[in-house]
Amino acid sequence: MDTPAVVLLSGGLDSTTVIAMAREQGFTPYALSFKYGQRHLIELEAATRAAETFGAARHVVADIDLRIFGGSALTADIDVPKHSRAEEVSNPTEVPVTYVPARNTIFLSYALAYAETVGATDIFLGVNAMDYSGYPDCRPEYIEAFERMANLATKIGVEGQGIKIHTPLLKLTKAEIIRAGTELGVDYSITSSCYDPDSAGRPCGHCDSCLLRLKGFEDAGLIDPLQYQDA
């Protein structure tokens, strides 16, 4: 249990499942979250709880204000798109308006700096098949290219140990993620997924993220423990 691994932890369903998986694989998690001008700060509280639950040695919250560049529904004043059914969400031929420019690249770059600092060669990221339907920086070829670049960028890379980007959710459906996490003891009542929660932190139930989550629970034959706004 003393091999360090940096785990990108938003506090959402996916990353909370990932920190449980990293722990299960014998890593000591060094959790990393971001305040990046997102509207849904409730996620950070969920991240803190998940870091505690899964034995993180440290939890660093990096404050990066991507609003200096503008350009996304998650950070600027564009309306978050709402739907009534999950089937309306994904269109793999288009990049969603909720896309944040270079977000995963910035997140992984920070994870790389953190990894070098604590002497870790393993980085865990919760990208998955549902997400990469539209986001270019969630595709396997992107992750491979980042890993290759990371090995040229760093002391650890130069000195030959090698950085590994783990993406254990990459080919799992939402239902498979939820089943795997449930088996590892993830309490999904502590995870937040909504792009547009109300002031009490209750998820909207109609943004892309909520709909994919609800469909995941339904497909897994499980009940989502969250209280939705209109429930």
Note the residues at the interface with a copy of itself (CB under 8 A): 60, 62-66, 68-71, 95, 99-106, 108-110, 112-114, 116-118, 136-137, 139, 141-142, 145-146, 148-150, 152-155, 157-158
What's the token pair of residue 104?
């995963």
Least distance between a copy of itself and beta carbon 153 (Å): 4
Looking at the Cβ atoms of 55 and 96, the one nearer to a copy of itself is 96
Looking at the Cβ atoms of 78 and 158, the one nearer to a copy of itself is 158
Least distance between a copy of itself and beta carbon 123 (Å): 11
Distance CA 21, CA 41 (A): 24
Looking at the Cβ atoms of 144 and 198, the one nearer to a copy of itself is 144
The Cα-based distances of 84 to 87, 196, 218 in angstroms read 9, 15, 15
Least distance between a copy of itself and beta carbon 229 (Å): 31
* Length of the chain measured in residues: 231
Distance CA 8, CA 6 (A): 7
Q: Residue 193: which of 140, 146, 130 has the closest Cα? A: 130
Looking at the Cβ atoms of 26 and 119, the one nearer to a copy of itself is 119
Least distance between a copy of itself and beta carbon 190 (Å): 24
Asked if 101 and 69 count as a contact pair (C-beta separation under 8 A), the reply is yes
Q: How far from each other are the two terminal CA atoms of the chain, in whole angstroms?
A: 41
